[in-house]
Amino acid sequence: MEGMPIRIAGLGRIGGSDVASSVTKQAVRVGAEVDFIIESDQYDEFDQGLIDWRATLGNKHWLILSSDGPLFGDSMKSAWGSSLTFAELEGCKSAMIVGVPREADRLEEAWGSVIDRIRQVSLLFISNEALEEVSRIEEIPPNLLLDVIRDRGAVPIVCTFDPIEGVAQVSHSMGRDVVEVKGDMGAERWLAGFLCALPASGYGASAVAIAAMSLSE
């Protein structure tokens, strides 16, 4: 990407299968400068007290984290909460990814953790796989879910991406954009491109749509 690189911190595992790591690694391919906050697969051995949160997040555009973080034990849950708090204090925007966890029956628990922190989230991405289940939990029709969550939680941007149809839906303060994205790409790559394009494009209605198409071929 042209201009100053986008700086991102990812709360996940290098080489791990968690979605926050996947999106963060895709951001590297797009051209972002990235720091991984956790590099170990052993979440229960992780001491988040060793992290200098201000130094890690103070110069970043985005913190990327996922809804299943709190499911990996008390230490990871504490780090997950601390990252959101310090990101807010340091002016770093938080991008929360909601997907179906490995233990699918724990999605409602993971979603509850997100709702508890929803006002610290700048961008909420709900995977295509999780969309219907979150709709069931919230008792909101899927076609209205993004807009209602954005309004209720005061989240600036709520979005999803269907990789099969190649369609992104983005709800923001000026309305909703439904954008056809050209090219074959997964949800993680689309989201990485969207996050990397937003700081430069701005957050107005047309700018959001342009950012959503940033990786179109």
pLDDT tens for the 217 residues of the chain, in order:
456 789 999 998 655 678 999 999 999 999 999 998 876 555 555 666 778 999 999 999 999 999 998 998 888 888 899 999 999 999 999 999 999 998 999 999 999 999 999 999 999 999 999 999 999 999 999 999 999 999 998 899 999 999 999 999 999 988 999 999 988 899 999 999 999 999 988 777 678 989 999 887 5
**Structure confidence at residue 205 (pLDDT):** 67
Q: What angle do CA 146, 215, 58 make, to 5 degrees?
A: 70
- Cα–Cα distance between 178 and 26 in angstroms, integer? 23
Quote the DSSP letter at residue 17: -
- Cα–Cα distance between 159 and 128 in angstroms, integer? 10
| Structural domains of the chain, ranges and CATH numbers in brackets | 7-212 (3.40.1190.20)
For the entire predicted model, the pTM comes to 0.93
Beta bridge partners of 157: 123, 172
- Cα–Cα distance between 82 and 129 in angstroms, integer? 28
For residue 37, how many other CB atoms are within 10 A of its CB? 22
**Structure confidence at residue 200 (pLDDT):** 84
For residue 77, how many other CB atoms are within 10 A of its CB? 16
Q: What's the maximum distance between 2 C-alpha atoms anywhere in the chain?
A: 45
- Assigned token pair, 15: 């080489």
**Structure confidence at residue 132 (pLDDT):** 95
